[in-house]
Every structure is written in C-alpha cells, then in structure tokens.
Chains A and B, each alone.
Chain A
Amino acid sequence: MGLVALLSGILSFLVISQATRELGRFGATDYIGTLIVVAIVRELGPLLTALVVVGRSGTAIAAELATNQVMGEVRALEAIGIDPKQYLVLPRFLGSLVSVFALLVLFDLVAIMAGFAAARFNGLPGPRYFQIVLQSLSSRDVWLTIFKAIAFGAIVGVVPSYFGLSVRRASTEIPIAASRAVVAALVGVFLCSALFVALS
C-alpha cells in the first residue's frame, strides 16, 4: 500500500509539474486533465499497480503453492477430498482481484491529489485543476479502469498459481517456478494492457 501510494504520488507530481510548466508556456494547461486521466489514471495506474502486486505477491503465491506441492500437501488435500484449486487457488485469485482493485483506487486518489499539489506548486489554482480533471474524466475512463483492475487482478492470481502448482517433487524447482511465474505474469499484464488500448 505504501509503495503504491509513493509511486503514484511521485509519478503524478513529476508529470504534472513538468506538464504545468511546459503546457503553461503555450496556454494549454487544460490538457493537464487529459494527461492525468488518460496517462496516469487510465494507463499507468493499472499497469504500475499490477506490476507492484506481481512483484510482491506473485512471487509469494508461486513459491507458497510450489512449496505446498513439494511437501505433498496438494496431494494430501486431494486424498482427503478437498479440491486444491478451491482451497489453495480460489482464495488467492479473489484476494488478487480485491487487492489490485483497492490499490488501484488508492493509486488514482493519490495521483489526483499529488497532481493537485504539483499544479498548485506551479501556480495553477486548485479549483481550476479539479475543474480540468473532472471535465476530462468520463464514465468510460472509470469503466475501463475497473475492467483493467479485474483483468490484471485475475492475471496476478492465476498465472503464479499455475506455475506454483506445476512443480513436481524437487525443492530446487521452487525458485524456478517463482521466477517463471513473475516473468509470465508481467508479460501477461503488458499484453493485456496493450489489448485494452487496441480495443478501446
């Protein structure tokens, strides 16, 4: 949570500071709204949030499930009539969906507030900043962000789980599974992001 807020705050402050200065020279400060909504809230927000969660939780999910597999816990679950996908994967999948969505909301709120600070710092009045941002924000942007949060959350939950459960019986496979899971999840998030851009 702290990392997401920090990333969001710094990114938004830097981008809006530069934009306010440069666009102000051409009297085009109205485009700050488009910049913060399209570039930060809609594109970078979901992407960076997903990257943070992949880095922090994707490795943990893959390593945990790989350990479960190597220790014979997955086999034992099946033997006592419990579906490992239901017991081990489903909670992680739902947790990823909720956490990516909640962190994305945090990212966007911090980004907008940091943008406000940057705009004020560079001489743009506060009410004007919020007016520009609200004018640029459409319901389509909100829905796109929600869909991205769901899609990226699903990738973060499913891909590391798949790689974690794919190991066989050797503990040496655990770090391999974790690194493969992170790489695959990152590729998945970027491809999914590109797909959203292509379709929207």
Chain B
Amino acid sequence: MTMPAPLAFEALPIARHASAPFSLDVPERRTVAVLGDEDSGIGRLGGYALGLERPATGRALVFGTVVASLPEPDRLAFRRRVGYLPAGDGLLQNLSLRDNVALPLRFGSGASPRDIEGRVTVMLTALRLMSAAALRPAQANEEERRRAALARAIAFDPALLVLEQPFDGLTARVASELLEIARGGESAEGARRTIFITGQEIPPILLRRVDHVYRLTRAGVLELETV
C-alpha cells in the first residue's frame, strides 16, 4: 500500500480567470515551490491546505486527510502536525518573540513549563534569536520576526511545513539559512521534512535546494521550471 503524499491539491479553483483548476502532489521529503503573481491565487493554497479556507470545489489533502472537513477540535489538533509560516509572519503583537514561539507548545503539547522553556531556548538558539527573544514583534526587525515565525512553525517538529512568502525582504544568505533550518537536516531519502513554499519569487541561490519549482500563470496553468 502506497503512503499518501504529505500534501495534495486536487482540482482547486484558486485563480479568478484560471482556465483549469489547480492540482499538485507534494512528494514526501521534497521541497516544492509554487511561484506566481498575486492574481494567480497562490496566496490561497496555504489556507486550503490547513483547512483555514474551504474551496467551492476540489480539495486539499494533508497526509490523506481533508483538514477542512474535520470537526473543529480535531481540525485544531490536526494542524499541530503541520508547520505554517503565514505571509506577514502572523506573530502576536502583544507577546515577545520568545512567548510567540512558546505559544503553540503551551497550548498543544501537554509538556511541563520547564520542558517547554527548554525547547524554546533550543529553537531560539538554533535560529540565532536569543538576543532578540524579549522583543515584541513591533520592536524586532523583519529578519528577526521571520526567524521567530519559523521557530513557531517548527515548534512541534512537524513532518510538513507550509511557508507563504518566507523569503520576501530577506538577504539571500538569511533565506538560505532559514531554508536549511526548515528542511531539518538531510537523510539518504532527502530532507527530513516535506516543504511547500508559495511566493512571488525565491532567491536564485535557493533554487538548487528546492526539488521542484513551479510557476503558476494568471491563466491557472502550472508550469514546471527548469532549475
């Protein structure tokens, strides 16, 4: 029996003027990027994957499950298996970067406060955020906010990461570092995590670390780019 793809989109109507619905399988342990203009509708893919939005037709499956169709408590619990870095980081403005990273663990891990603090410290150190950990998002710079958002996304060490415009406004060096952390290390089969990236562009230096780069046209046609 074959395992379902960690993430699959089936016949989703994402673009207003698309000639065809959007379909794509994201293979396990692969990094897949879908790039396109704002009009192409790529900004909706993350929401569909996590069941934050319900498509009129078609479906998005995560580990073979349509998240949007689950009852609310199950849906919330299921989302902890998926790391999500939304466009614009989505950090809570009234919490420090440290508390933002700790938030999902405090609500969803059942771990002791001491264990949570330990794990948060490890993640902040890995993302080189310790010096900015006490800052609120409004006091931090864009790079620090993105690092904190990524740390929060990988708080549960998910097998699948959905990243929306993760590298916008970052230098190629920082983008490259964040992608390596997101991949979670390498094995013979590929990266430890499956990563799905959406955005308008990604830095050229990252292309060799991305297994498949697709470009979604305004007409809704998905074209595989040669890397």
Contact = CB atoms under 8 A, between A and B. Distances in A.
A134 B63 CA distance: 68
A73 B52 contact: no
B158 to A, nearest CB: 10
A87 B107 contact: yes
Interface stretch (B74-82, B111-119, B123-131, B211-219): B74-82
B9 interface: no
A90 interface: no
B77 A79 contact: no
Contacts of B107: 81-82, 87
Interface string A68-80: 1001110111111
A75 B86 CA distance: 9
Contacts of A22: none
Interface string B41-78: 00000010010100000000000000000001000111
B151 to A, nearest CB: 12
B88 A81 contact: no
A173 B108 CA distance: 32
B91 interface: yes
Contacts of B47: 75
Nearest to A82: B107
Nearest to B155: A80
Interface in B91-150: 91-93, 103-104, 107-108
Name the residue in A67, A75, A81, A83 with the highest tally of chain B Cβ atoms < 10 Å from its Cβ: A81
Contacts of A83: 72, 76
A78 B93 contact: no
Contacts, number: 59
A154 to B, nearest CB: 22
A81 B107 CA distance: 8
Nearest to B162: A79
Contacts of B86: 72, 75-76, 79
B29 interface: no
A80 B104 contact: yes
Interface residues of B, number: 25
A80 B152 contact: yes
A72 B90 contact: yes
B185 to A, nearest CB: 22
B84 interface: yes
Contact of B92 (A73, A78, A79): A73
A79 B72 contact: no
Contacts of B77: 81
Contacts of B103: 80, 82
B91 A76 contact: yes
Contact of A81 (B80, B90, B91): B80
B47 to A, nearest CB: 8
Contact of A75 (B52, B72, B152, B153): B52
A82 B80 CA distance: 9
Contacts of A68: 92
A80 B79 contact: yes
A63 to B, nearest CB: 13
Interface in A48-105: 67-68, 71-73, 75-83, 87
B88 A82 contact: no
B172 to A, nearest CB: 26
10 contacts: A71-B88, A72-B90, A75-B47, A75-B52, A76-B91, A78-B76, A79-B86, A80-B108, A81-B108, A87-B107
Interface of A: 67-68, 71-73, 75-83, 87
Given A75-B47, A75-B86, A78-B79, 10 more contacts: A67-B93, A73-B93, A76-B91, A79-B50, A79-B86, A80-B80, A80-B84, A81-B78, A82-B104, A87-B107
Q: Please give me the 6 A-B residue pairs with the lowest Cβ-Cβ distance, nearest first.
A: A76-B90, A81-B80, A79-B84, A80-B104, A81-B79, A72-B90
